[in-house]
Amino acid sequence: MLTQHTTHLELQTRGRGLVEITAQLRHWLASQGVTTGLLTVFVRHTSASLLIQENADPDVRADLERYFARLVPDGDPLFEHVAEGPDDMPAHVRCALLPTQLAIPVVQGALVLGTWQGVYLYEHRTRGHRREVVLHLMGA
């Protein structure tokens, strides 16, 4: 019989960059008694994203941030929406280019993530923020 389970994570970021949440997802999943199902992860903000990325070499996350800092430069004169500073509109653009939501199948009681895949919250603002991530699990 299919059932549903929901919760949310509260995360305090320390400024721009990737924060791994894979262990928190696995920990919650383990307590729900679901063998087969679908886990949906949703971030309730327009200046932070979710991302599945390489979880082995920290250089990958540093390179990724350097790439996005160049692709969507802070203080770009193109932008008129600068109410909260030079990183305000770039954070919204990053949220268009990166996922707000992920859905990960559960098979044999585990997320089907590959060996090198980790799940991250990507903070786009230069200052740290309190972020809320909703988890929704449907399965049996």
Supply the Cα-derived Rg of the chain in whole angstroms.
Answer: 16
Q: Which is nearer to a copy of itself, 15 or 105 (CB)?
A: 105
Q: Which residues contact 58 (CB under 8 A, 6 or more apart)?
A: none
Q: Which is nearer to a copy of itself, 29 or 95 (CB)?
A: 95
Region of residue 13 (phi > 0: left; psi between -120 and 50: alpha; otherwise: beta): beta
Could you list the residues that contact a copy of itself (CB under 8 A)?
2, 4, 6, 36-38, 40, 42, 44-46, 51-54, 57, 59-60, 62-64, 66-68, 70-72, 78-81, 83, 89, 92-93, 95-105, 107, 112-114, 116-117, 132, 134, 136, 138-140
Least distance to a copy of itself from the beta carbon of 39, Å? 10
Q: How far apart are CA 131 and CA 123, in angstroms?
A: 9
Kindly list the strands in the beta sheet with 3-12, ordered across the sheet, starting from the edge strand earlier in the chain: 3-12, 130-139, 37-43, 101-107, 110-111
Q: Which is nearer to a copy of itself, 30 or 103 (CB)?
A: 103
Q: Which is nearer to a copy of itself, 19 or 93 (CB)?
A: 93
Least distance to a copy of itself from the beta carbon of 106, Å? 8
Q: Which residues contact 38 (CB under 8 A, 6 or more apart)?
A: 103, 104, 105, 106, 137, 138, 139
